[in-house]
Amino acid sequence: MSENPDYSFFENVIKSFDKAAKFTKWDPGILEQIKACNAVYRMRFPVKLDNGGIKVIEAYRVQHSQHKTPCKGGIRFAAEVNQDEVMALAALMTYKCAIVNVPFGGGKGGIKINPKEFSAYELEKITRRYTAELVRKNFIGPGTDVPAPDYGTGEREMAWIVDTYSSLRPGDIDAAGCVTGKPVTQGGVRGRREATGLGVFYGVREVCDIPDVMNKLELPLGIVGKKVVIQGLGNVGYHSAKFFQDAGAKIIGLAEYEGAIWKEEGLDVDAVFNHRKDTGSILNFPGANNFEHNSEALEMDCDILIPAALENVINVENASRIKAKLIGEAANGPITPDADEILIKKGVIVIPDMYLNAGGVTVSYFEWLKNLSHVRYGRMEKRFTENLNAHILGQIEELTSKKVNERERNFILHGPEEVDLVHSGLEETMITATHEVMAVWRANPQIPDMRTAAYVVAINKVANSYAELGIFP
Ligand code: NAD
């Protein structure tokens, strides 16, 4: 969301892609096809405002790749939305889905509005009209293109989308699968809300458990005691912060739009969140210190930095002042390619956005599968598992003449609920993806950084999939 006319987010994605493509064996024509956005739908439509006036709304939906269908990617509501940005985000979705083995092509949507300037009724009209425009051009549907939340949107907007789609496609038994990130009452899945933040935590935790990486950074193994700074206390940032804190990390700095705070002994994330809710600002949190500028938090001396707000926040201007040893890109595109080069030279390890923040799309995939199968996760096996576990435990207790304590009994007997299955599916996905990326990085010492290794994994998977389709014999 940069105002800088010289900054092209899509060009930056292409730069990172080209850097990685050198480490693959694919024909340049295949690489061209993978890079290109297959379809860009730019629309304008009028909306009547509460004051009687009419506003013409500019909006986009980009389908970057159909090597797997449907396309998948969030919808962003922001004043700075533009075609370049939506194209870049759609491309990142293609690579992200490939890395985490989610069988979707990349897509992304955007509406160029500041949602804070519109009433809920106006936002509903805008969202419903946007959905109707997508239906008209076949740019939405459980088998074609499935949006989700992104910056500025959430469950409420997804509920409007599924309702509009269903009313325009009566009798479509799979209509609930036209969008993900819905409220649970509207076909959503438990665990979606915290999914991206939890995925960020799982991904970073996995890297912190790899001995050679931690040796290189001169850090001890594990999350416990690590000093963490987080930028953005929205959906992704808040949940990431919570999971790091719960695992024993120290959140020493938090940055928001209006300012940033720090406390060497660690901040309590929920207390800061509530303080912001009550006072309207993160600043002046009891016991913490204010920074003069919120960007100073990014430059704190810490072990792990998690930018979880917007793109382009670490750039050539501030990269050399970054002191974090490990950066987990929770936001999309927070580090520019030029800044990346500076960080690589400094020995900083960056866990790239394109797989680290894939928790949202991974759990969206689970939600879509739930919608197509029309059954809640856990419904078929929960009771069976509990009965079986009770029987096994009973047998063991009888044979050993010993009883487990009440806490252990509850843990052993517990059959999986939907949220348990979703969290464990996400954990498995993030662990597998981390090791796939690390294996490619280790196998080729010429690959300079983890982002390039992640792109290599993505390019190979997408190109292979085209090759398997017989498109590129
Ligand atoms: P959000 O709107 O819930 O939160 C973003 C937060 O960042 C807000 O609290 C905002 O005030 C804050 N912010 C804005 N500018 C800031 C600045 N200059 N300094 C500090 N804080 C600032 O959005 P989100 O859904 O959490 O998305 C954040 C990022 O994560 C985006 O890049 C998005 O594309 C990416 N992402 C989100 C998801 C998801 O599931 N929501 C999935 C993958 C990637």
Coil vs helix vs strand at 385: helix
Q: How far is it, in rounded angstroms, from Cα 195 to Cα 217?
A: 28
| d(CA 161, ligand 1 centre) in Å | 21
Best probe residue, ligand 1, of 94, 231, 235 (max atoms within 8 Å of C-beta):
235
Nearest to 377 by CA among 410, 83, 385, 89: 385
The domain that holds 77 is classified in CATH as 3.40.50.10860
The pLDDT of 319-328, averaged and rounded, is: 98
Q: How far is it, in rounded angstroms, from Cα 120 to Cα 240?
A: 28
Crossing angle (nearest 10°) for helices 359-373 and 195-208: 130
Residue at 76 is within a domain: yes
Contact 433, 355 (CB under 8 A): yes
Nearest to 465 by CA among 44, 98, 21: 98
- Other C-beta atoms within 10 Å of 89: how many? 30
Residue at 117 is within a domain: yes
The residue nearest atom 31 of ligand 1, judged by CA position, is 331
Which residue type does 351 have?
I
pLDDT of residue 310: 87
* DSSP 8-class letter at 314: B
pLDDT of residue 7: 76
Judged against a pLDDT cut of 80, whether residue 110 lies above it is answered with yes
Active site residue 108: yes
Strand intervals (E) in 3-77: 39-48, 54-63, 71-77
What does each C-alpha distance from 292 to 177, 300, 305, 402 come to in angstroms?
46, 13, 19, 61
Judged against a pLDDT cut of 80, whether residue 157 lies above it is answered with yes
The pLDDT of 153-164, averaged and rounded, is: 97
Which residue type does 457 have?
V
Q: How far is it, in rounded angstroms, from Cα 73 to Cα 360?
A: 10
| Beta-carbon-side half-sphere exposure of residue 326 (alpha carbons within 13 Å) | 29
Assigned token pair, 412:
């052993």
Is any ligand 1 atom within 6 A of the Cβ of residue 308? yes
Judged against a pLDDT cut of 90, whether residue 215 lies above it is answered with yes
Best probe residue, ligand 1, of 236, 277, 314, 430 (max atoms within 8 Å of C-beta):
236
Residue at 451 is within a domain: no
Give the β-pairing of 250-256 and 259-262: antiparallel
The pLDDT of 445-464, averaged and rounded, is: 96
Which residue has better confidence, 2 or 353?
Answer: 353
Judged against a pLDDT cut of 70, whether residue 240 lies above it is answered with yes
Handedness of CA 399, 404, 410, 411 (dihedral sign): negative
Helices (H), 235-332: 235-246, 269-279
Over residues 371-426, the pLDDT tens digits come to: 999 999 999 999 999 999 999 999 999 999 999 999 999 999 999 999 999 999 99
pLDDT of residue 466: 84
b/e burial code for range 211-250 (CB count within 10 A of at least 16 → b): eebbeebebeeebeebbbbbbbbbbbbbbbbbbbbeeebb
pLDDT of residue 470: 67
Q: How confident is the model at residue 472 (pLDDT cuts 50, 70, 90)?
A: low
Is any ligand 1 atom within 6 A of the Cβ of residue 231? yes
pLDDT of residue 473: 47
Q: How far is it, in rounded angstroms, from Cα 95 to Cα 454?
A: 8
The pLDDT of 212-236, averaged and rounded, is: 96
The residue nearest atom 35 of ligand 1, judged by CA position, is 331
Burial of 295 (0-12, 13-18, 19+ CB in 10 A): middle
Q: How confident is the model at residue 311 (pLDDT cuts 50, 70, 90)?
A: confident
Q: How confident is the model at residue 335 (pLDDT cuts 50, 70, 90)?
A: very high
Residue at 286 is within a domain: no
The pLDDT of 32-40, averaged and rounded, is: 96
C-alpha 48: how far from its chain's center?
33
Give the β-pairing of 71-77 and 105-111: parallel
Q: How far is it, in rounded angstroms, from Cα 34 to Cα 164?
A: 32
Residue at 377 is within a domain: no
Q: How far is it, in rounded angstroms, from Cα 246 to Cα 224?
A: 10
* DSSP 8-class letter at 49: -
Assigned token pair, 161:
């989308």
pLDDT of residue 376: 96
Judged against a pLDDT cut of 60, whether residue 41 lies above it is answered with yes
Judged against a pLDDT cut of 80, whether residue 469 lies above it is answered with no
Residue at 325 is within a domain: no
pLDDT of residue 3: 53
Look at the chain and report how many structural domains it folds into.
1
The pLDDT of 207-235, averaged and rounded, is: 97
The residue nearest atom 18 of ligand 1, judged by CA position, is 257
Residue at 299 is within a domain: no
Over residues 178-191, the pLDDT tens digits come to: 999 999 999 999 99
Contact 107, 90 (CB under 8 A): yes
Best probe residue, ligand 1, of 151, 258, 335, 430 (max atoms within 8 Å of C-beta):
151
Nearest to 251 by CA among 236, 220, 234, 272: 272
Which residue has better confidence, 394 or 1?
Answer: 394
- pTM as predicted: 0.93
| d(CA 295, ligand 1 centre) in Å | 15
Handedness of CA 434, 439, 442, 448 (dihedral sign): negative
Tell me which residue range forms the domain holding 39: 34-186
Q: Contacts from 372-377 at CB under 8 Å and sequence distance 24+?
A: 372/142, 372/174, 372/177, 374/173, 376/418, 377/189, 377/416, 377/418, 377/421, 377/422
Assigned token pair, 402:
């010993």
Is any ligand 1 atom within 6 A of the Cβ of residue 294? yes
The pLDDT of 230-239, averaged and rounded, is: 96
Q: What is the mean pLDDT of the chain?
A: 95
Residue at 39 is within a domain: yes
